[in-house]
Amino acid sequence: SVMIGNPMTIPHLMLSFTDREHMQKEDLAAIKRSGISFRGKGNWPSLEEIVPGYVPVYPDRDSLVELLLVLQQVYIVLEKAKKDASFLQLDSAAVPAFLVRIPTGNGPGFRWKEHLLELDPRWAETSYLVDVSSYSRKALAGLPEASQVLHIELFMLPAPVKEKGNRAYFPFILLMVDSYTGMVISNSVLAPQPDMRSMCESIPQKVVDELLKLGHRPSEIGIRTGLLFELLDELLELAGCTVNLVEEMPEMDEAIASFISHLS
Question: Helices 134-141 and 226-238: crossing angle, nearest 10°?
Answer: 70
Query: Under a CB-based contact definition with an 8 Å cutoff, are residues 175 and 255 in contact?
Result: yes
Share of the chain above pLDDT 90, in %: 66
Residue 91 has pLDDT above 70, yes or no: no
- Min mean pLDDT across 93-102, 168-177, 187-196, 242-251 is at 93-102
Beta strands in 56-144 (DSSP E): 89-90, 97-104, 111-118
Residue 257 has pLDDT above 80, yes or no: yes
pLDDT tens for 106-141 read: 766 778 888 888 877 777 677 889 999 999 999 999
Residue 92: pLDDT band with limits 50, 70, 90: low
**What is the pLDDT at residue 2?**
62
- pTM more than 0.75: yes
CA atoms within 13 A on the CB side of 83: 4
Q: Could you give the angle at the alpha carbon of 221 between the alpha carbons of 188 and 246, nearest 5°?
A: 105
* Residue 260, amino acid: I
Residue 103 has pLDDT above 90, yes or no: no
Which pairs with CB-CB distance under 8 Å and at least 24 residues apart come from 127-133? 128/197, 128/200, 128/201, 128/230, 128/231, 129/201, 130/201, 130/204, 130/231, 130/234, 130/235, 131/201, 131/204, 131/205, 132/204, 132/205, 132/208, 132/235, 133/205
